[in-house]
Amino acid sequence: MDYQDALAEEIRNSAARLLAEDVGPGDITAELIPATQRAKARVIARQDSVLCGMAWVNELFRRLDASVSLHWLASDGDRISANEPFLLLEGPARSLLTGERAALNLLQTLSATATQTRAFVDLVEDTGVRLLDTRKTLPGMRLAQKYAVTCGGGHNHRIGLYDAFLIKENHITACGGISAAIEEARRIARDLPVEIEVETFDELDSALAAGADVIMLDNFSLKDMREAVKRNTGNAVLEASGNVDADRLRDIAETGVDCISSGALTKNITAIDLSMRLTDIFD
């Protein structure tokens, strides 16, 4: 299964899980409202944000009540302004209210990831460096957050443990050294990229000699990153990692590394404050 197929399946499964979690056997509060009553609603963000999560919300309401119509005033990846509507809905009032929290939970989390990513990307946009996510995602939301990172202008690192090698310190120890680890990776899957983490210049030199595709500079100082770029001379892709935050990001990018990976894009996020309000009630 390729990435797009996997993402489509995840959207379907995620919408089903959220409805099962929130609605369960039925929304008893919504039963206070006459079944024939219809309504219009609008959704706003209370802060400037980057939108993400349209497909999830569309699928959620499709499963809940296909008669609900959704009119998006922005698309995934668009910047949305505080207090300006970005989604209009119309349908049975019961269905709008039943689906409200599940839909907003998705949007607030994925938009937070996209917004955080966009803030980081903006800091380095003129440097040519690629900003990468990591596997430090919220449990059960790997593909969704990886998608959100791309909506914010970032790039995906490996999706999981299956689509690229990332040889770390313990792998090196268990394999008997950098050269042996890279050689074994080539034997197992020659078509997959091989990345290795290094902590010293000796390890960097060994990784270069062994032909690593990508070398992760783990917690290198800015001075040492610049030296690593000189030693590399373009042979491998250099990725900076470790203690990456907004304060250090620009300085890291200016060392000349090719990529910067940061778990902060997906794990250190604050949900976007969203609100849905009914605007019209009619039969």
Q: How many CB atoms within 10 Å of residue 186?
A: 15
- Quote the CA–CA distance of 266 and 273 in Å, as a whole number: 17
187 catalytic, yes or no? no
Active-site residue, 146 included = no
The reply to whether 218 belongs to the active site is: yes
Contact 49, 272 (CB under 8 A): yes
CA 23 to chain centre: 26
Q: Residue ranges of the alpha helices (H) in 74-195?
A: 93-124, 142-151, 169-175, 178-188
Q: Is 101 a catalytic residue?
A: yes
Query: Catalytic one among 63, 135, 168, 248?
Result: 168
* Distance in angstroms (rounded) separating the CA atoms of residues 145 and 73: 22
Cβ atoms of residues 121 and 100 within 8 Å: no
Active-site residue among 101, 226, 248, 267? 101
Strand order in the sheet with 85-92: 69-72, 85-92, 38-45, 274-282
- Please confirm, yes or no, whether 205 is among the known catalytic residues: no
Nearest Cα residue to 237 out of 117, 119, 157 = 157
Q: 92: which strand partners?
A: 38
Candidates 184, 199, 218, 273; catalytic one: 218
Which residue among the candidates 10, 59, 195, 197 is catalytic per the annotation?
197
User: Active-site residue numbers?
Assistant: 101, 136, 168, 197, 218
